[in-house]
Structure 1
Amino acid sequence: MHAAMAQTPATATIPLPEHPRPDFERTNWLNLNGDWAFRFDSADVGLREHWFTGTQTFPLTIHVPFPWGAPLSGVKDQADIGWYQRSISVPADWRGQRVFLTIGASDWLTTVWLDGQELGRHEGGYTPFSFELTPHLKPGQAQRLVVRVDDKRRQFTLYGKQGYGNARGIWQTPYLETRGDAYIEALHFTPDIDANKVRVTAYLPSPAPNDLRLALNIGEGNSAVKTQQTIRKGQQQVSVDVALPNARRWTLTDPYLYPVEATLSGSGKTSDRVKSYLGMRKISVVNLPGTQIPYVALNNEPIYLQLTLDQSYHPEGYYTFPSDAFMREEVLKARQIGLTGIRTHIKADIPRKLYWADQLGVLVMADLPNSWGEPDSLARRESEYTLREMIKRDYNHPAIFSWITFNETWGLTTKQKKDGKDVANYLPETQKWVASVYRLAKSLDPSRLVEDNSICCGRGHTETDLNSWHEYLPGYEWDAYLSKLTKQTFPGSTFHFEKGYKQGNQPMFNSEFGNVWGYEGSTGDVDWSWDYHRAINAFRQYPQVSGWLYTEHHDVINEWNGYWRYDRSEKELGVGELVPGMTIRDFHAPLYISTGQDIARTAPAGATVAIPLTASFMTGQTDLGQNLTLTAKLYGWDALGQSKTWWSATRSVPYKPYLQQNLDSLRVPMPNEKAVAVLALVLTDASGAELHHNFMSFVVNAPVPATVTLATNRKARVLTTPASQFKNAKWSLKQWNVLEGKKVNGAGSGFVEYRMTWPKDVSINGVESASFLVEASAKQLFTKDREGITMKDADTDYMLGKGVNDPSKNPNAYPMTDQTRFPSAVTVRCNGQVAGRYELPDDPADHRGILSWHAQPQDRKLREAGSYGYKLTVPLPTEALQQAALTGELVIRLEVDDSLPGGLAIYGSEFGRYPIDPTVLLVLKP
């Protein structure tokens, strides 16, 4: 915050007090965020009744800059037109200077008055606009500022995904600022790292009234570079090349920004001074070393793109974030999990968020928002205008490496009749226009990549710098898909291109993937980590694909496959418990060992299984030596839930930068018993530093012996029953089974009872102790499991955020483990005797539910995928055992009472985490 603002006591209490454009900032400015008087105009009478005079009552208070309807605005959405008013007082020391009002963004038709005098109007919803106040100012006196915003629904406006929450009215910071008599409209930096120079282009709002002087100061302290350039009378722009010897480059690991100050003088008394910054970096396309495969390059080095789709929404502020710290954290989250960037989806994002991407070293794909109407002249004008203004505003953000002009052909199809029905066609003339918009973007910014249409669903490219595509698949389909895809991608191929267009040598890039739409009717809220693991393993086996983009950064209204919840709380993957030291970053590691998409296999007991390995080293790092070490270890759980380690080995792995190579298969001996086994892989360098973790798992089938030898060398008799073979059950809400009884559910309070026959050859006197083993969890009754529920809502439009907004309503859903717990407690009785009461902390679903995922039929439907429980070992009372020996029957009852009625799920040996059925273990005396 500048000194001019620091003297204002209200600054500390207004939302988003920071300057909204760190890349284009003037010294004298006044933030107008905070409380404004507000009034809806549902009958559209305000203009006729002269509400702009400020003499009428505006009864509501709105918290600017939050859009009306967003909870943080304090105003509910009640109409399409809203009026704002507030008092402003321009500081007395601004006298004699030109003063402008700038509004960062306001959706859609915005008109502004000062003391009843109209200053101007603006059409558009995403980019800043300014009106001059100077002729009407009374410095040091209070004046009335009135703003009217008309956000009536128009088919041609770039609505994007505002169904998740409308950006109605002012949604980015409005502020006052002083400018010089002649001032800079825009200042653009085009770095040339190969020549160690930057081209600086200054734009004026109108031709220079006389010769002007542009002075530039780039850098800090004694190393700063200073230069001047004359702007001749009649010129409206000027470019100057500034040498930056030994320029420090902007990289993802060192995102250095050069501070810049530009001063325009020579017209009138007042000069114009703008502070900005630049990043010395280059975006281009190069071949992956040792191949003819094109990749996006940063500073001439190929970069493996690992991005996430960022809907850039907030549950309380919609398009507007509550604080600058929140925006910083949004970008930092992506960096912290090892991603290289984000794709801001269907939204020209807030400049301060882009600023944090610049500061933190996170790449950005920037989308032009879309309309939902047809591509008529109004829609074309709106798209081209917003594209121009978006590039003009965001040109200097080094984080942005590509512009995406359209997405999935939204707003590009025309309804036509075919066989009496409306058909949406992507017409050849529209395709030509899309190609022209690509060329327009390239003319406005030749320093970045431009994508014509981020394609999906049978549509293709026209002219583009990226051969991108969307695909939403179950994890088990990725290998076959990528194999077919890569065979059809080559220069001259028409695959993924519209008729009359064909592939060049563009990088092939997945610009959306995930399991959310890969299952029938979408997944709902599920454990995404399992299919994510399979997909990433598959991608790393196909270096022809230069990267991927996962849907998505955070959950939104009707998509729950985000890395984080909509409130940005954490989700749990469970991988760190399966492989010590492993985190989500391992899926994004530059050095990666893939075992292929099949991360769980059924294996015969005692067999030796060959595991294919692929080394995918997407890094130019040269200090790792010629060899790395891969350590493999096989461990897991037997049929009694006991932890065991069965095998381990190490091998040397060759290393060189950007190596993509199939390694010799790993031959792994399977346990000679029923088990769930995890094959953990750890890649280390010569110092022992762990560079990457990965794993796959095996479901080993074998009969469970009637008598086993325990780790204590005691023999024990094993009595088991399938989870589905209960003799009695009663639940207050519902009882049902999953996949023919592989899992048994009871919701609310109630009980389930098992009966096992006491073995005739075992005397009670020969039993030292006994215990009951079971895998169990709480069981929430999700909406989908209630009677009479259907997924489809009457008003459903997925792309606009309408419809199935309950994360557990989708038939496929089983919400992923997160920070919100759903606890229960179970009391275990044996032959009427209480054996113990156990807390069940949650109803979890994540990567630890190996058996639940492995059991899923491959039919694009999910049945409680990833769900699992907690292993309970319940000592059985002696009195109960004695009674069982007399009656010949063990009666095990699991009860959930009304004190904590969180339900109960019981997992059989083919579902959950452990390969155990409900089991009684009779430990025999020596």
Structure 2
Amino acid sequence: MSSYLQHHSKPNFRVWINTLFICCCVSFGLSAQSIPLPEHPRPDFERPDWINLNGSWAFEFDKNDQGLAQKWMNGARKFSKTINVPFPWGAPLSGVGDEADIAWYQREIKVPAAWKGKRTFLTIGASDWETTVYLDGKELGKHQGGYTPFSFELTPLLKYDSPQRISIRVDDKRRQFTLYGKQGYGNARGIWQTIYLEARGQNHLDALHFAPDIDNKKVAVTAYLPAAASSELQLELKLAGKTTSHKIVAGSSSVTFDVAIENQHLWTLEDPYLYEVEAKLGDGKGAADVLKSYFGQRKISVVDLPGTDYPYIALNNEPVYLQLALDQSYHPEGFYTFPSDEFMKEEILLARGIGLNGIRTHIKVDIPRKLYWADKLGVLVMADLPNFWGEPDANAQKESEYTLREMLKRDFNHPAIFSWITFNETWGLTTKVEENGKQQSKYLPETQKWVASVYRLAKQLDPTRLVEDNSICCGRGHTETDINSWHEYLPGWAWEEHLKNIDANTYPGSKHHFEAGYVQGRQPNINSECGNVWGYDGSTGDVDWSWDYHRMMNTFRKYPKIAGWLYTEHHDVINEWNGYWKFDRTNKYTGLEEMVEGMSLNDLHSMIYISTGNEISKTVQPGESVKIPLYASFYTNRKDLGKTLTLQIKLYGYDALGQKKTWMTTQRSVPYTPWMQKQLDSLDLQLPNEKCIAHLSLTLQDALGNDLHHNVMSFVVETPAPKAMTLPNGKSAQVLTVAPKDFSAAKWSKKQWNVLDGLKVNGAGSGFFEYTFKMAEKPTGTEAATFIAELGAKQLLVKDIDKSTNVNVDYMLGGKVDPSLNPNAYPMTDEYLSPSTVNVTVNGVFAGRVDLSDDPADHRGVLSWHYQPKVRKLQEAGSYGYRVAVNIPPQALNIAKVSGELVVRLEVPEAMPGGLAVYGDKFGRYPLNPTVVVVKE
């Protein structure tokens, strides 16, 4: 046992190109310079003499577990496959499938003669689960665990500058007590982090930890040895521009001392400064151990939000309103392992780029270099201990405590990590018991006591951070914890009632969200998983998340007692499609930029925030006067904004013909003080006196006119469409409308169906809809006529073919289904287009061709969201089309002079069978039914 563990031991305790690059390396066998992940895997614990062993290894599955008996470690068998290390077997980037639970790796190494006099170790960053390493057939050691690094010494067996054979056997049979997490999304089988050789001193460091103390302008340094020193050792440390020397006396396995930090440069989210460290350990005789490390001078604590008694998580004694994303930390081609260092950097930049200040690495001990980029770029991290899926027996408890110790040991110096989460949603913590002749799963009091002891263990190992006992969900509660967190997945309209209830039940002594015998103290109350994906019956599948997200963000900002939220999730995974980005990290589009000029997703994460609350769309009558609530939420101590901000207000939208109009612009003053949370005077608004959809655009500006925040609310003015109108040029026009469902003929090659009783109609494949417009008077004296409609392409989704909901799929363990199978699904607008073409004919005369670029669904589909029934089911929510205007040929009008009608056919040809959706005035983007406008001379 290392001195670190002895010291703390107690009993009972977007960048898709990177993928392409790696694939090319695998396919074409590029040189060692092109090996995957060539960077040192641990910038916080880096020795200068090291050799990266990533790349091609000989590989063999051991399906019958015969390798040990047949002595494969001695080279008795020529391996038939090649694997690309460190990608887990079964991952596409590994180059091999998933054919067995046991496998062998083999390759030659050559240790340079320059390493003589030092001690040589082989280190594996992580390998799942039981890993045995051999050098020239002789066993070096065996490790059990799936997430943390381990090393074996080679020195006594080395033949310097000569090739020697490394053989590695990995047994990854499923065991109910191992920390499997969500590996069903892609297993971490075998070696999945960098493997390397390194030269250490004759006496070497096992860990070097830095505990910042910003209040006293110092850092506590603890150096750990793997065993007690046999003689006095000297540790030399270069830190913050000074060199200090410290003794480790014989018989001791660690030393702790303080180093003063003059003119300390704090690690903050805006300026994530890292102190670099050089350490040298030796006894003045043999080779010294030299390594580089770093730390951030920062403090994690709990303080009150200024002006309130609401406890908040604090960075450097200042409250932080947490805006985090759940990060499954998966890659579609590498599973647990990312293809490049640049990709890991980009993951952090993606989160930071949309205004988030943190991520929660979900039930996975993440790769150190990804944590390094969080440190370097200023993004906070909640770090989870992975879960087991069996029962909390002795083996499971041992495995959890071992991995917890090792992850805290490895990651202690990462300033980005602000909390440890030991269990998630009580997974693995229930025991089957028999009650009244039936077996039930119970979260037993003795298990709760063990969970509390693991919380205390984590606090003992790391008193510098917050620890959460159990990130709770589904009726379970906390025991002992530093954070009063909770999970909830709801439709957007349900968040007001839920947050109001959380707010009312959060106070010291409350039993809400705590197990029997435990109560709330003054822990910060935060949401640690939220969204809409599981808020609908049977999940959502792939759906526009922006609408419910907008409602949820507006509502959170009304309740400052809740000190932050954590959205599920950073990116899609196998059966969760509610990520900010798709699984391949391509973009999804919210459409917010077209709702308000200058608006983006970042506005929903702004520390300066103004909103109308939970309600973001409202049905009103023509000319109605309404009072609109306004809420200000300022999570900043900025003092450069003065005492008054300006709110620019604009009411614009689309009339019954889908034409854009602006009805009103005005402005008003908004008071500003740092950390202000208050309801403002309501906004008096008079709505247009016509059928339309009107968007209330809100832009908050500083004294110089710089935009600080944007938000929007929509109003649906309900009234029948006009039958006649006067055009801006003074001419009169006849307006003819038909509801989408009232087509006079239709025929489709694949399928035709209606949505919400015909508010929208769909045709899949090739085919046509035909609409007949009866003219009130024959079009004699007609100058022109135009057909106007909202049309979109219509892809045929799996759910449109198969109504099955796959209820037997185990989503948590990665049961795989098509994202569009779910009955609630309607894929959100992304980079992958589903185009279609429509030929428009009127009375048999060709009028024009319309190219429909996509079948989109996002925030722009206001009407498709507004008219969804308030039940936990969705019907093509957020979907919308494009405003199409096609002039009707004179020949068609001449025919109408005889027939008295215009027959408009919308036909999708066989050559481009992309389907067609026709939207009505209560679905899509525009309050528009299929319409013909006839202009009189």
User: What TM-score comes out, normalization by structure 2 length?
Assistant: 0.96
1:276 to 277, 283, 293: 293
What is the distance in 2 between the residues matched to 1:286 and 1:11? 51
Q: Is the aligned partner of 1:797 residue 2:797?
A: no
Q: Is the aligned partner of 1:141 residue 2:162?
A: yes
Question: Is the 8 Å Cα contact of residues 742 and 909 (structure 1) preserved in structure 2?
Answer: yes
Partner of 2:645: 628
After TM superposition, the structure 1 = structure 2 runs for residues 749-828 of structure 1, keeping only pairs within 5 Å, are 749-760=766-777, 763-765=779-781, 767-786=782-801, 788-792=802-806, 796-803=809-816, 805-828=817-840
What is the distance in 1 between the residues matched to 2:697 and 2:340? 42
What SS does the corresponding residue of 2:453 show, helix, strand or coil?
A: helix
Partner of 1:89: 110
Amino acid at match of 1:621: R
1:456 to 465, 470, 473: 473
Partner of 1:296: 313
Amino acid at match of 2:800: D
Residues 31-58 of structure 1: CA deviation (Å, up to 9, x unaligned): 0000000000011111111111123111
Residues 298-334 of structure 1: CA deviation (Å, up to 9, x unaligned): 0000000000000000000000000000000001100
Partner of 1:164: 185
Displacement of 1:155: 0.2
After TM superposition, the structure 1 = structure 2 runs for residues 535-550 of structure 1, keeping only pairs within 5 Å, are 535-550=552-567
Residues 416-467 of structure 1: CA deviation (Å, up to 9, x unaligned): 1234332110000000000000000000000000000000000000000000
What is the distance in 1 between the residues matched to 2:85 and 2:54? 5
What is the distance in 1 between the residues matched to 2:503 and 2:334? 42
Partner of 2:846: 834
1:44 to 65, 83, 100: 65
Displacement of 1:120: 0.2
Amino acid at match of 1:830: V
Displacement of 1:267: 5.7
Amino acid at match of 1:228: S
What is the distance in 2 between the residues matched to 1:700 and 1:420? 60
**Larger CA deviation: 78-87 vs 419-428:** 419-428
What is the distance in 2 between the residues matched to 1:453 and 1:705? 59
Residues 389-433 of structure 1: CA deviation (Å, up to 9, x unaligned): 000000000000000000000010001123433211000000000
Displacement of 1:204: 0.3
After TM superposition, the structure 1 = structure 2 runs for residues 106-505 of structure 1, keeping only pairs within 5 Å, are 106-219=127-240, 224-266=241-283, 268-505=285-522
Residues 369-392 of structure 1: CA deviation (Å, up to 9, x unaligned): 000000000000000000000000
2:82 to 49, 57, 61: 61
What is the distance in 2 between the residues matched to 1:199 and 1:763? 89
Partner of 2:24: none
What is the distance in 2 between the residues matched to 1:885 and 1:646? 38
User: What TM-score comes out, normalization by structure 1 length?
Assistant: 0.97
What SS does the corresponding residue of 2:740 show, helix, strand or coil?
A: coil
Question: Is the 8 Å Cα contact of residues 758 and 885 (structure 1) preserved in structure 2?
Answer: no
1:102 to 104, 107, 123: 123
Partner of 2:9: none
1:530 to 539, 542, 547: 547
What is the distance in 2 between the residues matched to 1:705 and 1:903? 30
What SS does the corresponding residue of 2:204 show, helix, strand or coil?
A: coil
Amino acid at match of 1:157: T
Question: Is the 8 Å Cα contact of residues 225 and 244 (structure 1) preserved in structure 2?
Answer: no
Question: Is the 8 Å Cα contact of residues 779 and 896 (structure 2) preserved in structure 1?
Answer: no
Displacement of 1:711: 2.6
Number of residue pairs aligned between Structure 1 and Structure 2 = 909
- Percent identity (aligned): 65
Amino acid at match of 1:790: S
Partner of 1:867: 879
Question: Is the 8 Å Cα contact of residues 608 and 634 (structure 2) preserved in structure 1?
Answer: yes
Amino acid at match of 1:392: K
Question: Is the 8 Å Cα contact of residues 209 and 267 (structure 1) preserved in structure 2?
Answer: no
Question: Is the 8 Å Cα contact of residues 779 and 900 (structure 2) preserved in structure 1?
Answer: no
Displacement of 1:268: 3.6
Question: Is the 8 Å Cα contact of residues 305 and 546 (structure 1) preserved in structure 2?
Answer: yes
What SS does the corresponding residue of 2:884 show, helix, strand or coil?
A: strand
What is the distance in 2 between the residues matched to 1:751 and 1:679? 37
What SS does the corresponding residue of 1:860 show, helix, strand or coil?
A: coil
Question: Is the 8 Å Cα contact of residues 589 and 829 (structure 2) preserved in structure 1?
Answer: yes
Amino acid at match of 1:218: L
What is the distance in 2 between the residues matched to 1:510 and 1:94? 52
Question: Is the 8 Å Cα contact of residues 181 and 267 (structure 1) preserved in structure 2?
Answer: no
Question: Is the 8 Å Cα contact of residues 181 and 268 (structure 1) preserved in structure 2?
Answer: no
Partner of 2:6: none
Q: Is the aligned partner of 1:918 residue 2:918?
A: no
What is the distance in 2 between the residues matched to 1:244 and 1:58? 55
What is the distance in 2 between the residues matched to 1:690 and 1:394? 39
Question: Is the 8 Å Cα contact of residues 869 and 907 (structure 1) preserved in structure 2?
Answer: yes
Partner of 2:17: none
**Larger CA deviation: 262-271 vs 166-175:** 262-271
Question: Is the 8 Å Cα contact of residues 680 and 696 (structure 1) preserved in structure 2?
Answer: yes
Residues 152-211 of structure 1: CA deviation (Å, up to 9, x unaligned): 000000000000000000000010000111100000000011111101100000001111
What is the distance in 2 between the residues matched to 1:421 and 1:783? 39
Question: Is the 8 Å Cα contact of residues 182 and 267 (structure 1) preserved in structure 2?
Answer: no
Partner of 2:607: 590
User: Considering only aligned residues, what root-mean-square deviation do their CA atoms show, in Å?
Assistant: 1.0
What is the distance in 2 between the residues matched to 1:590 and 1:711? 44
What SS does the corresponding residue of 1:453 show, helix, strand or coil?
A: coil
Question: Is the 8 Å Cα contact of residues 779 and 893 (structure 2) preserved in structure 1?
Answer: no
Partner of 2:26: none
What SS does the corresponding residue of 2:126 show, helix, strand or coil?
A: strand
What SS does the corresponding residue of 2:869 show, helix, strand or coil?
A: coil
Question: Is the 8 Å Cα contact of residues 907 and 917 (structure 1) preserved in structure 2?
Answer: yes
Q: Is the aligned partner of 1:898 residue 2:910?
A: yes
After TM superposition, the structure 1 = structure 2 runs for residues 686-701 of structure 1, keeping only pairs within 5 Å, are 686-701=703-718
Partner of 1:28: 49
What is the distance in 2 between the residues matched to 1:710 and 1:12? 70
Partner of 1:5: none
Amino acid at match of 2:789: V
Amino acid at match of 1:667: D
1:637 to 654, 657, 660: 654
What is the distance in 2 between the residues matched to 1:464 and 1:421? 33
Partner of 1:618: 635
Residues 765-814 of structure 1: CA deviation (Å, up to 9, x unaligned): 2x11100000000000100011x4401165x11111114x2010000000
What is the distance in 1 between the residues matched to 2:688 and 2:271? 48
Question: Is the 8 Å Cα contact of residues 47 and 199 (structure 2) preserved in structure 1?
Answer: yes
Partner of 1:683: 700
What is the distance in 1 between the residues matched to 2:779 and 2:137? 100
Partner of 1:3: none
What is the distance in 2 between the residues matched to 1:122 and 1:147? 11
Runs of 5+ consecutive residues of structure 1 not aligned to the other structure: 1-8
Displacement of 1:763: 4.2
Amino acid at match of 1:631: Q
Residues 710-733 of structure 1: CA deviation (Å, up to 9, x unaligned): 233322110011111011100000
What is the distance in 2 between the residues matched to 1:16 and 1:86? 18
Question: Is the 8 Å Cα contact of residues 714 and 923 (structure 1) preserved in structure 2?
Answer: yes
What is the distance in 2 between the residues matched to 1:241 and 1:710? 81
Partner of 1:709: 726
Residues 451-498 of structure 1: CA deviation (Å, up to 9, x unaligned): 000000000000000000000000000001111111111000000000
Partner of 1:77: 98
